[in-house]
């Protein structure tokens, strides 16, 4: 991992990102974010503002978003959600509830 990555739970990264919500069942610790640059769950939170998946953390040297696929909708997105265009932070909600509801 790069030295600029921070280990931070979803709840803490949500607080830093300005998200005030929480899961009614599991609280804030299991909040999960979408990678800012693609349709994958984020596993890194860097610079106090940016969520990355493993692949983008390693391969996106310019950290500029790629345009989202034109067909990325709830039905076609690998995450199964509607989300803003790449380049914006987006909370997927509670990872435990998502796993129970969607298997992902």
CB 78 within 8 A of CB 39: yes
* Token pair belonging to 5: 């990555």
In this prediction the pTM is 0.71
DSSP 8-class letter at 17 = T
**Cα 70 from Cα 60, distance rounded (Å):** 21
Tell me the pLDDT band of 4, cut-offs 50, 70 and 90: very low
Strand order across the beta sheet in which 44-46 lies: 5-6, 44-46, 50-52
Helix count (H) and strand count (E) of the chain?
3, 5
H or E element in which residue 44 lies? strand 44-46
Q: Please report, for the chain, the start and end positions of each structural domain, with discontinuous segments joined by +.
A: 5-102
Q: Residues 50, 48, 4, CA angle at the centre, nearest 5°? A: 85
Confidence of residue 6 (pLDDT cuts 50, 70, 90): very low
pLDDT at 51 over 50: yes
State yes or no: pLDDT of 5 exceeds 50.
no
């Amino acid at each position: 991992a790069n030295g600029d990555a921070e280990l931070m739970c979803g709840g803490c990264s949500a607080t830093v990102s300005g998200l005030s919500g929480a899961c009614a069942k599991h609280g804030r610790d299991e909040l999960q974010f979408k990678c800012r640059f693609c349709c994958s769950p984020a596993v890194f939170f860097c610079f106090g503002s940016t969520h990355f998946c493993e692949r983008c953390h390693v391969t996106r040297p310019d950290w500029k978003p790629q345009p989202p696929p034109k067909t990325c909708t709830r039905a076609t997105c690998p995450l199964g959600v509607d989300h803003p265009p790449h380049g914006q932070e987006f909370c997927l909600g509670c990872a435990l509830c998502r796993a129970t509801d969607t298997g992902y």
